[in-house]
């Protein structure tokens, strides 16, 4: 794993994972003043935990945060090749379609169902030709934005959950914690039953929101402003990075298509 560690691991896993852990830890640090240890061992453990959390986060985010936002739930690699789409000039789309037909024997004209397959074949061709620096850059950037969006959304729910903790009596905390576990298990069960990853993630967010409220929070009242600001900031970041995620994902597709046309042209001359 270490030999293959690259910038995608940093963009896609480590940074989003660190952000998620930081947002989950923030209420504890604010209310209890429990700042993390500066010891080297603690820092290494935090990095490892962040890397693992980033992988889990990306698995969830990949399945839940959509990229197929076009009409009919179509992917950018599909709708960018439509005749009425202005992303590429008509001449470039014709050159691309001809190159894909010649190289892979796939017809991507007229909403062909093979467009997504052709897109990944174009990407693989660029990787095989070792002409992918910008392709990898945009892939890393959109993975980073997707991870930050998911971490911020989860962190926002968790931080908001802290705000209702003072209204739970001490005797109710244990039953409330048990109830939140039932919610989580029910959401995961329903998600697996229906094959719906969004239901499972929604259950996780609801669980974090409810679980946060069952935590002991002595002295929380004087920190509600900070926690509220943190939750609002997390929500704002989630919204902004979702837009950036869609933008970088589209740029990733455009870069691959343009790169494949250049590759095909250079091989034919």
CA 55-60-61 angle, to 5 degrees, is 95
On whether residue 208 sits in a domain, the answer given is: no
Report how many domains make up the chain.
1
Longest dimension (CA), the chain: 79
Task: Please state, for a pLDDT cut of 70, what percent of the chain lies above it.
Answer: 61
Query: Is residue 93 situated within a structural domain?
Result: yes
> For position 83, what pLDDT does the model report?
87
Residue 196 inside a domain? The answer is no
Q: Over range 149-174, report the average pLDDT.
A: 75
User: What's the rounded mean pLDDT across residues 123-148?
Assistant: 80
27-65 tens-digit pLDDT: 767 766 655 555 545 665 666 677 777 766 776 777 777
The per-residue pLDDT for 166 is 65
Q: Which residues constitute the domain of residue 254?
A: 7-168+214-268
Report yes or no on 83 lying in a domain: yes
- Alpha-carbon gap, residue 55 to 195, rounded angstroms: 20
Q: How many CA atoms lie within 13 A of 118 on its CB side?
A: 28
Most confident among 131-135, 141-145, 186-190 (mean pLDDT)? 141-145
Query: Over the stretch 182-192, which tens digit does the pLDDT of each residue have?
Result: 766 676 666 65
Residue 199 belongs to a domain: no
Task: Enumerate residues 6+ apart whose C-beta is below 8 A from 126.
Answer: 132, 135, 256, 259, 260, 263
Q: Is 69 part of a structural domain of the chain?
A: yes
Residue 136 lies in a domain: yes
Q: Is residue 104 part of a domain?
A: yes
């Amino acid at each position: 794993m270490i030999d293959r560690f690259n910038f995608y691991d940093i963009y896609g896993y480590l940074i989003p994972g660190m952000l998620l852990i930081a947002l989950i830890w923030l209420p504890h640090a604010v209310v209890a003043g429990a700042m993390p240890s500066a010891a080297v061992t603690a820092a290494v453990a935090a990095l490892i935990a962040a890397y693992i959390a980033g992988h889990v986060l990306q698995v969830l985010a990949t399945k839940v945060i959509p990229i197929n936002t076009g009409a009919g739930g179509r992917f950018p690699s599909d709708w960018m090749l439509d005749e009425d789409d202005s992303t590429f000039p008509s001449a470039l789309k014709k050159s691309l379609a001809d190159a894909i037909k010649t190289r892979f024997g796939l017809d991507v004209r007229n909403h062909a169902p093979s467009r997504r397959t052709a897109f990944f074949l174009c990407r693989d061709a660029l990787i095989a030709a070792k002409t992918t620096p910008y392709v990898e850059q945009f892939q890393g950037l959109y993975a980073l934005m997707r991870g930050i969006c998911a971490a911020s959304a989860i962190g926002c729910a968790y931080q908001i959950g802290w705000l209702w903790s003072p209204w739970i009596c001490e005797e109710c905390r244990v039953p409330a914690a048990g109830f939140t576990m039932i919610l989580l298990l029910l959401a995961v069960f329903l998600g697996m039953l229906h094959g719906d990853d969004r239901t499972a993630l929604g259950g996780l967010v609801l669980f974090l929101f409810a679980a946060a409220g069952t935590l002991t929070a002595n002295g929380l009242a004087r920190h509600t402003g900070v926690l509220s600001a943190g939750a609002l900031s997390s929500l704002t970041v989630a919204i902004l990075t979702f837009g950036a995620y869609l933008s970088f994902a589209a740029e990733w597709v455009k870069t691959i298509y343009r790169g494949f046309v250049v590759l095909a042209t250079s091989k034919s001359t």
